Structure 1
Amino acid sequence: MIPQLVTVRHRGSSGRRLRLYIPVVPVALILSPLLLVAVAGGLVACLIFKVSPLGALRGAGRLLWALPGTRFEYEEGRTALLVSVR
């Protein structure tokens, strides 16, 4: 299952908190022209480095499939960042 929602929480050094909910599908639709350019660049990179494009696509798909449930936390001093993929 592909990720549906990315939640980003940020606490700045001033103690102010910010929470963002980012829906993946609408953002992917808006950025789809850039996605096409990135795929074309990836294919060119596969040809340059002699990597199987199908294998690279399969690896990217497996990475995308494994993202739901991932949490990334970073804290330094009074600043904290949490990224959660659902």
Structure 2
Amino acid sequence: MMPQLVTVRRRRSDGRSMRLHVPVLPVLLVLSPLLLIAVLGGLVACLATHVSPMGALRGVGRLLWALPGTRVEIEQGRAAVLVSVR
């Protein structure tokens, strides 16, 4: 299933925390013109490096479908960032 929500939580060094919920579909719709340019650039890169465009597309699709449930936590000193994909 495609990810639907990305949650970013940031804890500052003073202990306060900020949480940001980002819905994936509206962001994808707003950035769709840039996505088209990225796909065309990826197609040119595949042709230049002799990689199958369908194989590359299949790999990207598998990566996106594996994202739900992913958690990335980064801590440095008293500051921390947590990214959670649902």
TM-score by length of 1: 0.97
- Structure 1 SS opposite 2:25: helix
Q: Deviations over 1:15-73 (max 9, x none)?
A: 22110000000000000000000000000000111100000000000000000000000
Structure 1: where are the runs of 5+ without partners? none
In the alignment, which residue of structure 1 is the partner of 2:63? 63
SS of residue in 2 equivalent to 1:68: coil
Identity rate, percent: 73
Task: Work out the CA distance in 1 between the residues paired with 2:54 and 2:24.
Answer: 24
1:1-86 to structure 2, matched below 5 A, reads: 1-86=1-86
Q: Which runs of 4+ in 1 moved over 4 A?
A: none
What residue ranges of structure 2 are gaps of 5+ in the alignment? none
User: What is the RMSD computed on CA atoms of the aligned residues?
Assistant: 0.6
The aligned amino acid for 1:32 is S
In the superposition, the TM-score normalised over structure 2's length comes to 0.97
